[in-house]
Amino acid sequence: MFVLMLCTVVGCRRSGRTIEVYAVKGKITMDGQLPPPMIHVRLVPKDVSAGGEEAGGYSNAEGEFKVASLNADPDAGAMLGDYVVVLSKKVKDPKAPPGALPKETLPLIYTMPDTTPFSVTVQKGRNANNFEFDMDSKAPAPPKKTR
């Protein structure tokens, strides 16, 4: 069962500046089922010029995740604001030659800030930041950019 958590404000000074973050958690599914564990969840600010910063974390075997801003304590949360949600799961092929890069295993549409269909708004409030994302395993690849 997904445990509910109270929204908390945490002041963090890891980077030498104090930021206010709010608890963010959620659940990922794929086609309504449990996804593979250890999906990297990134909250990328829609407007970087507004002073927001990226937050991230990893899902567990049940698809549950918590995130933390880059300059916050682990699982502390994210700053207020609007974010796009990027999901990624890279796995190294054991048959690949040495030095080969890990391969992305999720549909590519979810792996880039400019193509992901997922977005959230981190808000103040009790249990305000509990999000769910259901990926489609047959999601089309994002359109190729033309120059």
pLDDT digits (tens, 9 = 90+) for 26-42: 999 999 999 999 999 99
pLDDT digits (tens, 9 = 90+) for 76-112: 889 999 999 999 999 998 898 998 999 999 999 999 9
Q: Is the pLDDT of residue 7 over 50?
A: no
Nearest by Cα to 23 from 42, 10, 14? 10
Q: At 10, is the secondary structure helix, strand, or coil?
A: strand
Domains of the chain: 9-132 (2.60.40)
Q: Is the pLDDT of residue 3 over 60?
A: no
Q: Output phi, psi for 83, to 5 deg.
A: -135, 150
- 124 burial type by CB count under 10 A (0-12 exposed, 13-18 middle, 19+ buried): exposed
